[in-house]
Structure 1
């Protein structure tokens, strides 16, 4: 499991090291170093399940998640518009991540346990494999249209 950062232009800008599937999104976000890269005024888009608003806020950045009803019967028109704007950007994030997964099938399915063994530099093969796949994706045409 990786945390992937994607720019508004559709480039992979951050890739965490690999974590086990049971690691929570909050744990990965707080441990992988991405928060150290946030600057004042940055906006982080995430799913509702990412419980990281405090962590992001401590970096003077803003967390943007789609609105949900949470006890209300329906969303306000303001929440609907905000959610639509977030969804329009998040779809590109999902497309970039999907492109990495689908283009480089080595990242799909089961992998031998050997790819998790750390070398003398503290790196494992899966981290290197994912980094190369993301770098190659960045060399492809962007999934984000430049209109």
Structure 2
């Protein structure tokens, strides 16, 4: 499994990293995003949306579970924190195997439902306030992307 760690300093750099990642995405890509409350998951989602050409404001779908946006590709921003059983009939698979980009916050809650090719991202707040963003996947496509982003 290829791992890549990037440290961002402030919201602007976190959004820039996410926007750069967006430029590599293809229909059907699923990104699993983990991190404590306040780690920057929604900030990352805003940057990803911007990179996908989405103009409307992006906020956390905590109470709605899924928010849909139209850009260069459909963008499905999910927050599955409140899902107690991954088997709950929510139709998530339709999104995961659809034609858009899925970003799933608290993705470990629904891990059994995620495609094998999912790119896992973990955001950790460091003591100085910087964000440590780790990307990991065993899929060859993501492995080459991780190498490219880490060398940038």
TM-score norm. by structure 2 comes to 0.31
Choose between structure 1 and 2: higher helix proportion. Answer: 1
Q: Which has the higher contact order (CA 8 A, sep 6+)?
A: 2
Choose between structure 1 and 2: higher strand proportion. Answer: 2
Which of structures 1 and 2 has the bigger CA Rg?
1
